[in-house]
């Protein structure tokens, strides 16, 4: 029983502190519109006004940094979207390189058929034709 008497004031203090903090986190203000249409805000309720509205002015996250689960989920979605976009870009660039290489080989085969007409499917022949080209100019044969 004596232990209970010792802890009772402490418990009451914790309870009152909790109630005080809970009441402090919900802050209210009043939006007051007077007869002339002027708008003012106050933390105390007005005695006379044309229109009064209660407004909640507590911070959106109340200092807790937002909803962690939603923030982490959003971060994962953004990361996933970024990875998907990066993969699409890499795939697109790779496809363009492959198409350009295929076009280069097609052009070399066409040139080979115009000039030589023989052995145009041989990769060594195509390399030889390409090696004989002057960059940005004509062939030097």
Is 18 or 95 the better-scoring residue by pLDDT? 95
C-alpha–C-alpha distance, residues 103 and 98, integer Å: 9
- Residues 94-122 have pLDDT tens digits of 999 999 999 999 998 898 888 877 888 88
C-alpha distances in angstroms, 15 versus 35, 60, 62, 140?
44, 25, 21, 96
- For the chain, the domain total comes to 2
Based on the domain organization, do 54 and 108 belong to the same domain?
A: no
Based on the domain organization, do 56 and 80 belong to the same domain?
A: no
Whole-prediction pTM: 0.40
Contact between 30 and 53 (Cβ < 8 Å) = yes
37 has pLDDT over 60:
yes
Residue 95 inside a domain? The answer is yes
Q: Radius of gyration of the chain from Cα atoms?
A: 39
Please report the pLDDT score of residue 100 as a whole number: 94
Based on the domain organization, do 77 and 110 belong to the same domain?
A: yes
133 phi and psi angles, rounded to 5 deg: -80, 145
Residue 12 inside a domain? The answer is no
Query: 40: domain range?
Result: 27-60
Based on the domain organization, do 37 and 82 belong to the same domain?
A: no
Please report the pLDDT score of residue 118 as a whole number: 80
Residue 141 inside a domain? The answer is no
Please report the pLDDT score of residue 89 as a whole number: 93
Based on the domain organization, do 93 and 40 belong to the same domain?
A: no
C-alpha–C-alpha distance, residues 139 and 134, integer Å: 6
Residue 55 inside a domain? The answer is yes
């Amino acid at each position: 029983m004596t232990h209970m008497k010792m802890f009772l004031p402490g418990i009451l203090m914790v309870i009152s502190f909790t109630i005080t903090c809970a009441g402090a986190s919900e802050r209210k203000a009043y939006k007051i519109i007077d007869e002339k249409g002027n708008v003012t805000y106050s933390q105390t309720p007005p005695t006379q006004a044309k229109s009064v509205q209660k407004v909640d002015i507590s911070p959106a996250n109340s200092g807790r940094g937002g909803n962690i689960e939603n923030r982490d989920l959003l971060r994962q979605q953004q990361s996933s979207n970024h990875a998907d976009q990066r993969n699409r870009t890499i795939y697109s660039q790779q496809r363009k390189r492959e198409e350009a290489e295929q076009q280069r080989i097609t052009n070399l085969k066409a040139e080979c058929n115009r000039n030589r007409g023989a052995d145009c499917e041989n990769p060594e022949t195509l390399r030889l034709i390409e090696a004989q080209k002057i960059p940005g100019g004509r062939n030097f044969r």
